[in-house]
Structure 1
Amino acid sequence: MESTIRVNETDMTFSDMQNQKLNQMLVFISQYNEFYKDRLKHVSLPIRSTEDLQQLPFTSKYELVQDQTNFSPLGRNHTFSKEEYVRYHQTSGTTGKPLKVLDTKESWTWWEDCWLEVFKSSGVTKNDTAFLAFSFGPFIGFWAAFEAAKRLGALVITGGSQSSKERLQSMINNEATVLLCTPSYALHLAEVAEGNSIDLRETNIKTIITAGEPGGSVPSIRQQIERLWNAKLYDHVGMTEIGAYGYSCTEQNGLHVNEAEFIVEVINPDTLEPVGKGERGELVLTNLGRYGYPLLRYRTGDMVICSEEPCPCGNKNTLLVNGIIGRLDDMVIIRGINIFPSSIESIIREFEAVKEFRIIYYTEQNMNQVKVQIEAVTDLASQVATKLRDRIGLRIDVEMVPENSLPRFDLKAKRVVDERVVN
């Protein structure tokens, strides 16, 4: 049945293409998807404009997780019978119960198509050798990148269960030209290389593609990784439940949304009304090619700003300035100031001597506080504290800790410890 769901994109304007894909999907899922069937009952089709789009209900991760709890184990948003699905993933569960997501063969091909756009924007070709420094498991991570690289014709090497030193040696021995990993792990690999007298600048790695964390779009983090590896870094963003929706370009000034496959909105998370370009808001996405697991107006929880100006690279897709600013559920109010961990990290990474860090929220005399622990070769506590106070407008205690005392991460880094007392 799903093989019939293809759209002829020839001679269509961009908005027309989106509308046709959206309406074709809506007609289908309103009949066959139990999660959305009732939600779409009173929606007037076809959708012809942005205003019409606002008829559609928002979807939240909480609703998806609750649906899987009520209709265990997979919930009702899997449009087809289980026999039609070929891939299983689950979210990391860092913000709650893991969400299980399946893909049909066609939906998995759609994932690959999205990742091919990432490779295209990064200049990766069939002549490259891509090394995936990733331990393969149910977290989607770079699984789709692996499949897309194969389709591209590039040689793909996986790090699997290798140690960091073994992965570095494999990259060198196999003359890998592209590294795919999280920003945190790119920095950790550089630390391991230094400890083993390996000069990364003499490897063949010329391109690094990061995902899983916002660091690849944070200038201070990106510049530090590029300096250590003597390579150009391109960022990518996606979510298990929504798909691989964004990628950076040669300008490295943010993330472009793949609007051939996603409809993008930015809303005020309190009023749910659209915000203007240049204003900060919550990113809302609708995927257009994943009939096996569709999401309409999905509230990602990511805070972004859409550029008011076209990107100099020539890509006309929506540009999210500086990528993901932070997550709504990561924001903490300390003494009246909104704090995102990514804002603290962007400042800390300006100090090249910092090897690792950790953010600790705690309660003291009934007031929420924040402090930062850092590992560095020299005592930088005073300098880091001064820069944090100047940039964030808040006094943040900075504590030096012994070398190698803080954890390192292969996948998503967990650098925030919340010890606040809940009243």
Structure 2
Amino acid sequence: MVKRLGLFVIGFSLIVVIIQVAIPSADGRFEQADATPEKRPFLIVAGLDSLTNGALTHKTKSRYLDTLIPQMHKTYGDGGPGYVPFDSIYFKQDHHQLKMSRRLKEINDLEPGQYPSQYSFDLKGLYTNKGRSDWLRFDLKKDWTYGRVFYLQQPDGGSFKIGYRHQKFIQVDTGGSLSLKTIELPKHVQDRQVVIRHISGKVTLFGGIFLKNGGVAVSRIGQGGDLLRWHAQLNNAFMKQWLQQLKPDLLIFNGGTNDRYRSSVGEFRRHLRHYLKPFEASKCQILINAPNAVKYKQKRLLNFIHSMKAYAKQHNDAFISNQKVLGNTFQEAQQAGYMGDWVHPNHRGTKKIGNQLFFYIREHVLPSYKKEHAGF
């Protein structure tokens, strides 16, 4: 399967964790590390498709998060990058730097549901079945202080070492019963590169969460072209673990645009229920963001939107629609100058979407959060 770089839109998903942390001390013993911010940021997870993780061309630019994230940071403070998957497309689109040895393969290239993709957070990560002193290193464009890296503990698992360049490294053995684990990093200093080396045997590395003190952190999940039906193949037991560890405060879910060619209305409803079930069971608020009108298969998309609205009402989730600000039909949105092509809004359209989300979160989500978290 070739990397999923589509013109289509929508979808998204999450996954698991049990904390296992150690840092070598000066005398060679291991001590517990603390990668928890003194003041936890408000964490938003948003996805599934090109509206959050699309290509960055000017005409067909379709990432509403490019409007929402700066507004959130300006108003409430920058809480760091949030969850970042080890994925070459993601790093390239966000101008981060990721380098790796050739035996490390990308989960993004697997068929959705193929091992080990079902245990990932959003169908991304790196894996090898026969590592031999393999390595990866990365730099994030955005500042962060507290970091955790997620990996898969599995039977016959291999090992790796992790740390900052020119600093002491942590030895990690990934063998054991199937579960999601994390390794915590010491507090980060600007421009200090994270290195994972001596990757041996069967190892899967999903990504990491990188935060600062306070503010808002927004995590992009999914990718342009992704389908909800793909993310519905994520393992729900692992998703429960991911949510317990990541503790997102808000999920912005937009999905369905790409599914209209592959799923019936009944299938879409089942996928929606399955994907959102772990979020409903957690303390994460859910905001369903219905997609904009498109030129083709609009009737099927409207049926999906009706299903999303009914789901939100049934589960007491928030619901807003991009069609409210762009137009109820593709022709309306195109004539208003909001469309970059037959499916994606352009930079003017995504700005309208981002503004609508910002105002909704500011007026309807954060007030209750502020009451429970003094000093936010």
TM-score w.r.t. length of structure 2: 0.29
Higher RCO (Cα < 8 Å, 6 or more apart): 2
Structure whose CA Rg is larger: 1
